[in-house]
Every structure is written in structure tokens, then in C-alpha cells.
């Protein structure tokens, strides 16, 4: 949408299920840290789930919240992280589901180019496209 350092970009944080379908979506400003919306999004995390996230989400708060919910946080540690945490590279490969979701989302031109200036309208467009992704997943399953 414009300058990246100036804050005119938008990040979309998504929580997807095992089929790559979105469960929770939160847009934030481009300069905001990734870990801030993650705490609120993890309220929908089910017990015995596996939380797959990239290094930007590596924090004690997120790991502790996942443990409180009965989930396992499979997050690669940051380079500066001290201490050892269980991490499976084989399980981490399943994180491509979130990348596939974002690739499907980018197929919608209005979202990929961010035509909407209003953040609420942009979020509504993302949710509408996500509903279409959900419906398409049901069509392919039938």
C-alpha cells in the first residue's frame, strides 16, 4: 500500500486448521510486532493441538499460553534465544498450510493490492474471501 517503514502497510495474522482453512484473522499495522495479536488469537486454540508458527512468534508468553491451553508450541527458536525447547523440523513442514492459505488469499485482486483504505473494509474483504476458500474446500471434499 505504500511506504513500509512509515506504517502504511498491513499484516494479516491468521490461525488455520489442519486443512488450511482460516479460523481467526487479525490485521495489524505493518510495523507492529507479530507476537502482539497472537496472544488474543490463541484463545481459540483447542487442547491437544499443535501450534505451528515462525520465529517471529517465539516468546515465553506464547509458549506458556499454548501450554495452558494443552497445546504444543512447535516454534523454531530465535537465533538469540537461550534455553532449549522441543522442536520438530518434520512437524514444522506442515506450516506450509498457512502459506497455502495466503497464496489462495492473494488470488483475490482486491486483497492482494489492498484497494480498501479503511481497515474494517479490508478485513471484511479478507473474511469474505476466506468464506469462499472454506466453501471451495467443501466442494473439493464432496
Residue ranges and CATH numbers for the domains of the chain are 10-141 (3.30.420.10)
Q: Give the CA distances from residue 60 to residues 82, 83, 104, in Å, rounded to whole numbers and listed in that order.
A: 11, 11, 31
Specify burial of residue 28 (Cβ count, 10 A radius: 0-12, 13-18, 19+): middle
Model pLDDT, residue 2: 37
pLDDT tens for each residue of 36-79: 888 888 888 888 899 999 888 998 889 999 999 999 999 999 88
Model pLDDT, residue 90: 92
Average pLDDT across the chain, whole number: 85
Q: Coil, strand or helix: which one is 11?
A: strand
- Indicate the pLDDT class of residue 142, thresholds 50, 70 and 90: low
Amino acid at each position: 500500500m505504500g511506504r513500509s517503514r512509515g506504517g502504511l502497510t498491513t499484516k494479516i495474522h491468521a490461525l488455520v486448521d489442519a486443512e488450511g482453512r482460516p479460523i481467526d484473522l487479525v490485521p495489524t499495522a505493518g510495523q507492529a510486532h507479530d507476537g502482539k495479536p497472537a496472544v488474543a488469537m490463541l484463545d481459540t486454540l483447542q487442547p491437544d493441538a499443535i501450534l505451528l508458527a515462525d520465529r517471529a512468534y517465539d516468546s515465553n508468553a506464547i509458549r506458556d499460553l499454548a501450554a495452558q491451553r494443552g497445546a504444543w508450541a512447535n516454534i523454531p527458536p530465535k537465533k538469540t534465544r537461550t534455553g532449549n525447547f522441543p522442536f520438530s523440523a518434520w512437524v514444522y513442514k506442515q506450516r506450509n498450510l498457512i502459506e497455502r492459505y495466503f497464496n489462495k488469499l492473494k488470488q483475490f485482486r482486491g486483497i492482494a493490492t489492498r484497494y480498501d483504505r479503511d481497515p474494517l473494509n479490508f478485513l471484511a474483504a479478507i473474511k469474505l474471501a476466506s468464506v469462499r476458500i472454506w466453501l471451495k474446500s467443501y466442494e473439493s471434499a464432496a
